[in-house]
Structure 1
Amino acid sequence: MHSDLEYIKEQLCLLEEKMLKEAEKKQALINSLHSEQVDSAKNLIHYLVLRNQDIRELQDLLHIHGLSSMASSESHVHRQLQAINERLGKTYDEQELDVCTYAFSKLKIGEKSRLLFGPKTETNVPSVMVTFDSGFADDYAMIKSLLQNGMNVARINCAHDDEATWAKMINKIKKACHQTGLECKIYMDLAGPKIRTKLLEKGKEKGKVKVKEGQLIWLAEDDKGFEADDIVISPNEPGILPMIKKGDRVYIDDGVIRCLVEKVKKDRVGIRVTRVSSEKGQIKAEKGINFPDTLLDIPSLTEFDKSCLPFISENADIIGYSFVKSPEDIRALRTELKQLNDHCLPLIIKIETPEAVKNLPSLLLEGMKEQAFGLMIARGDLAVEIGFERMGEIQEEILWICEAAHIPVVWATQVLENLHKSGMATRSEITDAGHAALAECVMINKGEYTIEVMETLKDIVQRASAHRIKKRFTFRPLKIAERFLKL
């Protein structure tokens, strides 16, 4: 018993020493952040130090002795460690105690969520972001109903429609807010690089073409040198083909069509269809293409995105940034925005690539140079890029790390999607919707049953949040933490 307690004290002492040293090492970086983000950044670094260790044996011993096992302490990790030490008899001077307590961190993330998403009527229920359909531009009654049923944020995707349509949507949102007395933030999502299927030969006229497993199809930027029966697809983004290597995977339509690169030529890439996960077995125009093994060196901020920024800067409350991979991407957008306005719009970065996951701590710290900053887990593209089997693990890791940084998270893609499209939810998506209670905001996509989805989501989340705020986890080392601390 005594030796256990001595071991616990020794390990906690070592952990605290590492936390303080790493924060001191990163002090210049911390000082570059917005003053309201400084304490949060220190807590993030302390948490990454913790998650760079394997403390599962220590956690078991803490649990056995009736002490906090450090699980669910993401938001106040150093102060939690100090509290355990105090229970074991260690005394701290007042100035040594970390200001980032549980109460402090709860207040911080609440303040940041309100800055991004506006006020909420129910504390434990996430804000709701609704994706606008083109038809909403001429449907004031629908917008008013969405607002009355709990919509906190209206999402306008700049990949669709045009400024005239966006303006109609925004005017109706503002009118509904004025008439109901309810608040709604306007979130405009940059389109980002449009890596989507464009059929060049067979299927070009109909906008779809049948494929089967074992078939060789082609990626090319134009249709020169092909036969009429060849299936030729343009990824609709210049410069991608030279980056592709033999053996790389290519996924089309959220992974429904899976291919492997077999031939790499100067002006074309031959890909072999290895799996077709739909009965129709069709490739349609304007479907997403993912290259999970290919390092795509293309800018996150496109010329089209830049052309949208003046309208967004004038009309939006929040800007969504697609295809973010590195801190440089955030700096590039910030530079463009500051040319239009002295004050940058609050930014929400979308995590949808393996590079974004790997660089997550650095992305957060760059974003924290502004007072209001958030993150969206774009689960559609992210699942295809990293592998569906890893999605559950990765979305948990993102939630933990954002909790440590007090960064609000938007839980997005396929939330109650079957209910939205058909009017009936599947059992698995009900469970997934309950998990959304861990985020600060939930995004709903377009569909026929938006009001029903909002009502169901609210009921599920209320029940889930009554049972838990966080789970208890054991802490094996995280690769994300290891990579960041080596910088």
Structure 2
Amino acid sequence: MRSPSPTPKTAPSLGTPPVAKDGTSPDLALCLKLIDQLGALRQGMLGREQAMAEELAKVRPEYRDSARNLIHYLTLRQVDIRPQQEQLVWLGLSCLGRSGSHVLANLDKVLGLLHRLTNQPWQDTVAEKPASSRELLKKHTFNLLGQVPVNRPVRIMVTLPTEAATDLNMVRDLVDAGMDIARINCSHDSATDWQRMAANVRRAARAAQRPVKLLMDLGGPKIRTGQLAGRPPVLKLKPGKDELGRVYRPARLHLRPINSVELMPETDASIGVWDVWLARLKLGTSINFSDARGAKRHLLVIQNNEKGAIAESLQTAYLTPETTLTIGGTGGKKKHSTLVCQINSQPGALLLRAGDSLRLTKEATGTTEALEDDSAEPRPEMAQVAVTLPQVIDQVKVGERIWFDDGRIGGVIRHKADAWIDIEITQARPEGEKLGGDKSINLPDSQLNLPALSAKDIEDLTTVAAEADMVGLSFVQKPDDIALLRDHLQRLGRQDMGIVLKIETLQGFENLPELMLSAMASRLAGIMIARGDLAVECGYERLAEVQEEILCCAETAHMPVIWTTQVLEFMAKTGLPSRAEISDAGLGVRVECVMLNKGPYIIQAIRALDDILKRMVGHQAKKRPLLRALRAWGSAGNMASDAMLAALKTLNDDHAKHNASGSC
């Protein structure tokens, strides 16, 4: 903490300010008023810093300056100073729009110039030059995310697919294309898979002769729909047809023994049949059957080996377990038949339209009928699905909103009982939306008290601590969540592990300052903006604003940011980017790391992002930030003193008389 200079420094006199013909000096009066207002703002910063001395004492020494600056910045943003910004620009001074990196030092510079303009002494209370914000951010980023790539200021993170556990060449391709950080999602695959993925990442990094960091995301308290009863198994065989309905590619069906799970490549589907019947098939054998609609259909065997047979169809056909396949029966040959013994069941799904009712239950019931309850009228034949975290039923309230499947389906809670809640569907496409099992649930209006780490997360931490450089804390909402994770990392001997706060809920966003201060008690910390869940929680129309506030907050704390969700997603899936996502990817130069999700064209997406970021590095944002009051962010956001607010109250109605000009 900086101490006041022992010897006040007084600015030299600039003489008497110019006086207008009527004997007044408008600029002088404006300068004096700004000195009073900005002085009150400065006192508010120092007062709040003193009030939060206990919290600052918990921050590690290397983050102390960053934590103080965060407190100063949030105090500044508790009031709307846009009128003062216009007045400062009119005077040819900095409007404080770029002051976030070192708030107090920049405010003191402006106050010093205002004192000189009014021929008043100014005491410089900063005894030492503040550390460079750029150097602080660079240092924190290097420690957490590793060295910066050549000719690119932003790291590229890639989510590893399951194949990364067994395909070393694929991981090498990711590293060679430009992957700087590999991400493993602990919500999928197993601990053994994660260990193999980590080993392959290390091998690929050694081959490329450059370090590649590893982030492992804990699953966290993810609220999802439970599994639904599977639909009756139906297999649709459909050949490829052109716009005139002409077949250009037959449908290919793999016929395999019922005790086999090995599939043949380059087929559209697979079914299990009786082994004795399958052994009678030969190249060119014709298979006849009536499909589920009663339509007569034929299959022609084109391949036969120990794995089974491949047969082609030129017509669309629907097969069920009741379908009988027959060979022979012509030219005096004996008929041989088999039932379709094995067809993969289709996952269950509910078709929901606006106005429908849905019951969310604590336990799966295996039926779509309503549960009886004394507190409400039973609703027969109501669609229902269980929730993976039953305790949320107790914590929600009637009238609160609920979203399913990343915001595709919206509703409002209308009734509540001990074991369930009834939801009115308010948002879905006119033709309806299908809701399946294991789909996300968001409750943006609800104050949920969920465990930061599930039993599975605590078990997963053993592998994470052994393999990863960083751990992602999913759905973090309060400082105690971070403290709990730190306790477990200490138990595992990994106090040095970096902690990445995944901001993906409204409560996490509103508590961001407290979360950041708590994370600064760790050796390494960063922020991940999970734009998917965050958009659902805050509303898509607010996502840009929310993202901007998180970026501003992170900049003042000199904390690295990872930007995620749908970056070049269309390109990773199809190989061709959309115009909008190219522009979106270009904004990645504002953060320290951009994450790409897995997809069949992920190599092309990495190379495209690498090229985009290299091209954008030389461009600057041509804007002047306007410092309106930020939305309250929990207790840490309430940093403005009553005296400061009173001093600035009258100014919020006082607008500049001249248009702003010049840079900030």
TM range (shorter): over 0.9
Q: Which moved more, 1:447-456 or 1:218-227?
A: 218-227
CA distance in 2, matches of 1:294, 1:481: 17
Identity %: 35
1:299 is displaced (CA, Å) by 0.5
The answer to whether structure 1 residue 282 and structure 2 residue 438 are counterparts is no
The answer to whether structure 1 residue 327 and structure 2 residue 479 are counterparts is yes
* 1:180 equivalent in structure 2: 208
Which runs of structure 2 are paired with 1:247-396 in the superposition (5 Å)? 247-277=399-429, 281-341=433-493, 343-396=495-548
* 1:436 equivalent in structure 2: 588
The answer to whether structure 1 residue 219 and structure 2 residue 245 are counterparts is no
Give the aligned residue type for 1:353. Answer: T
The answer to whether structure 1 residue 164 and structure 2 residue 164 are counterparts is no
* 2:166 equivalent in structure 1: 138
1:78 maps to which of 104, 107, 113: 104
Larger Rg: 2
Q: Is the 8 A contact 2:406 2:441 kept in 1?
A: yes
Q: Which moved more, 1:131-140 or 1:222-231?
A: 222-231
* 2:251 equivalent in structure 1: none
1:203 is displaced (CA, Å) by 5.1
Post-superposition Cα deviations, 1:328-357, rounded to whole Å, max 9, x if no partner, equal 111111111111116241100101111111
* 1:245 equivalent in structure 2: 397
SS at match of 1:272: strand
Post-superposition Cα deviations, 1:375-423, rounded to whole Å, max 9, x if no partner, equal 1011111110111111110010000011111111111111111111122
CA distance in 2, matches of 1:164, 1:373: 27
Give the aligned residue type for 2:402. Answer: V
1:15 maps to which of 41, 45, 69: 41
* 1:27 equivalent in structure 2: 53
Q: Is the 8 A contact 1:222 1:234 kept in 2?
A: yes
Q: Which moved more, 1:396-405 or 1:57-66?
A: 57-66
* 2:628 equivalent in structure 1: 476
CA distance in 1, matches of 2:193, 2:90: 61
Q: Is the 8 A contact 1:49 1:481 kept in 2?
A: no
* 1:108 equivalent in structure 2: 136
CA distance in 1, matches of 2:149, 2:394: 52
Q: Is the 8 A contact 1:112 1:408 kept in 2?
A: yes
Q: Which moved more, 1:218-227 or 1:393-402?
A: 218-227
Q: Is the 8 A contact 1:259 1:271 kept in 2?
A: yes
Post-superposition Cα deviations, 1:129-154, rounded to whole Å, max 9, x if no partner, equal 11011012122122112212221110
CA distance in 2, matches of 1:91, 1:234: 70
In structure 2, the CA distance between the partners of 1:465 and 1:279, relative to structure 1 (3 Å rule), is farther
Q: Which moved more, 1:85-94 or 1:216-225?
A: 85-94
The answer to whether structure 1 residue 411 and structure 2 residue 563 are counterparts is yes
1:93 is displaced (CA, Å) by 6.4
Give the aligned residue type for 2:108. Answer: Q
CA distance in 2, matches of 1:480, 1:392: 17
The answer to whether structure 1 residue 47 and structure 2 residue 73 are counterparts is yes
CA distance in 1, matches of 2:517, 2:112: 31
Q: What RMSD over aligned residues (CA atoms) do the two structures have, in Å?
A: 2.2
1:85 is displaced (CA, Å) by 2.6
CA distance in 1, matches of 2:136, 2:209: 26
Give the aligned residue type for 2:60. Answer: H
In structure 2, the CA distance between the partners of 1:16 and 1:249, relative to structure 1 (3 Å rule), is same
SS at match of 1:71: coil
Q: Is the 8 A contact 1:330 1:366 kept in 2?
A: yes
Give the aligned residue type for 1:440. Answer: E
CA distance in 1, matches of 2:182, 2:230: 39
Give the aligned residue type for 1:339. Answer: R
Post-superposition Cα deviations, 1:61-108, rounded to whole Å, max 9, x if no partner, equal 11122211111221111111122233332776676256435xx11001
1:221 is displaced (CA, Å) by 2.4
SS at match of 1:414: coil
Q: Is the 8 A contact 1:72 1:471 kept in 2?
A: no
Q: Is the 8 A contact 2:401 2:445 kept in 1?
A: yes
Q: Is the 8 A contact 1:70 1:81 kept in 2?
A: yes
Q: Is the 8 A contact 1:200 1:222 kept in 2?
A: no
* 2:126 equivalent in structure 1: 96
CA distance in 1, matches of 2:128, 2:37: 19
Post-superposition Cα deviations, 1:273-305, rounded to whole Å, max 9, x if no partner, equal 212148662112221111112222111210000
1:464 is displaced (CA, Å) by 3.1
* 1:36 equivalent in structure 2: 62
1:402 maps to which of 528, 532, 554: 554
Give me the TM-score of the superposition, normalised by structure 2. 0.70
In structure 2, the CA distance between the partners of 1:230 and 1:201, relative to structure 1 (3 Å rule), is farther
In structure 2, the CA distance between the partners of 1:174 and 1:400, relative to structure 1 (3 Å rule), is same
CA distance in 2, matches of 1:203, 1:248: 31
Post-superposition Cα deviations, 1:165-185, rounded to whole Å, max 9, x if no partner, equal 111111111111111111101
1:465 is displaced (CA, Å) by 3.1
In structure 2, the CA distance between the partners of 1:206 and 1:197, relative to structure 1 (3 Å rule), is farther
1:4 maps to which of 13, 30, 40: 30
SS at match of 2:618: helix
CA distance in 1, matches of 2:130, 2:185: 37
Give the aligned residue type for 2:63. Answer: Q
Q: Is the 8 A contact 1:410 1:443 kept in 2?
A: yes
Give me the TM-score of the superposition, normalised by structure 1. 0.94
CA distance in 2, matches of 1:418, 1:227: 36
Post-superposition Cα deviations, 1:247-285, rounded to whole Å, max 9, x if no partner, equal 121111111011121221222211122121486621122
Q: Is the 8 A contact 1:378 1:413 kept in 2?
A: yes
SS at match of 1:79: helix
* 2:321 equivalent in structure 1: none
CA distance in 1, matches of 2:400, 2:346: 29
CA distance in 2, matches of 1:423, 1:49: 46
1:363 is displaced (CA, Å) by 0.5
* 2:350 equivalent in structure 1: 209
Give the aligned residue type for 1:96. Answer: V
The answer to whether structure 1 residue 150 and structure 2 residue 178 are counterparts is yes
In structure 2, the CA distance between the partners of 1:114 and 1:278, relative to structure 1 (3 Å rule), is farther
Which has a greater percent of helix? 1
CA distance in 2, matches of 1:6, 1:194: 54
CA distance in 1, matches of 2:103, 2:352: 52
SS at match of 2:451: coil
CA distance in 2, matches of 1:332, 1:215: 41
* 1:191 equivalent in structure 2: 219
Give the aligned residue type for 1:296. Answer: L
In structure 2, the CA distance between the partners of 1:397 and 1:278, relative to structure 1 (3 Å rule), is farther
* 2:385 equivalent in structure 1: 233
In structure 2, the CA distance between the partners of 1:21 and 1:108, relative to structure 1 (3 Å rule), is same
